[in-house]
């Protein structure tokens, strides 16, 4: 069945694979997400839920819809910049941003 995404029906996501480096080298491959990967992901989802309301790093702004030649990603129900990332990515972006803010010259 073809899934139709819209402003009222944005896509939902689940972790099923990861891109990894083989043996610390430079070759990238995909691997199926195992139980440990899913546990780490779910832990990040819970942590993001705790800090997302007070986060000042990840943009909360809406993706502009005026003067666009292409309606994507808004036409898929992704209306804010943070909608483009999963909770683990948002937690990482926030953590890195906060660490950068703490750097003193």
pLDDT digits (tens, 9 = 90+) for 33-68: 999 999 999 999 999 999 999 999 999 999 998 988
Helix axes 35-51, 87-101, angle to 10 degrees: 60
At 86, the pLDDT band (50, 70, 90 cuts) reads: very high
**pLDDT reported for residue 76:** 84
For residues 72 and 49, give the distance between their C-alpha atoms in angstroms, rounded to a whole number: 26
For residues 69 and 80, give the distance between their C-alpha atoms in angstroms, rounded to a whole number: 18
Hey, is 40 helix, strand or coil?
helix
For residues 79 and 7, give the distance between their C-alpha atoms in angstroms, rounded to a whole number: 8
pTM of the model: 0.80
Provide the residue ranges of all domains of the chain, joining segments of one domain with +.
Answer: 17-101
- Computed over every residue of the chain, the mean pLDDT equals 90
């Amino acid at each position: 069945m073809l899934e139709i995404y819209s402003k009222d029906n944005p896509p939902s996501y689940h972790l099923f694979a990861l891109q990894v480096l083989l043996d610390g080298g430079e070759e990238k491959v995909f691997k199926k997400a195992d139980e440990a990967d899913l546990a780490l992901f779910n832990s990040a989802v819970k942590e993001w839920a705790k800090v997302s309301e007070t986060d000042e790093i990840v943009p909360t702004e809406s993706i502009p819809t005026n003067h666009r030649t292409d309606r994507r990603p808004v036409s898929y129900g992704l209306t804010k910049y943070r909608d483009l990332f999963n909770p683990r990515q948002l937690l990482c972006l926030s953590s890195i941003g906060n660490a950068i803010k703490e750097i003193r010259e």
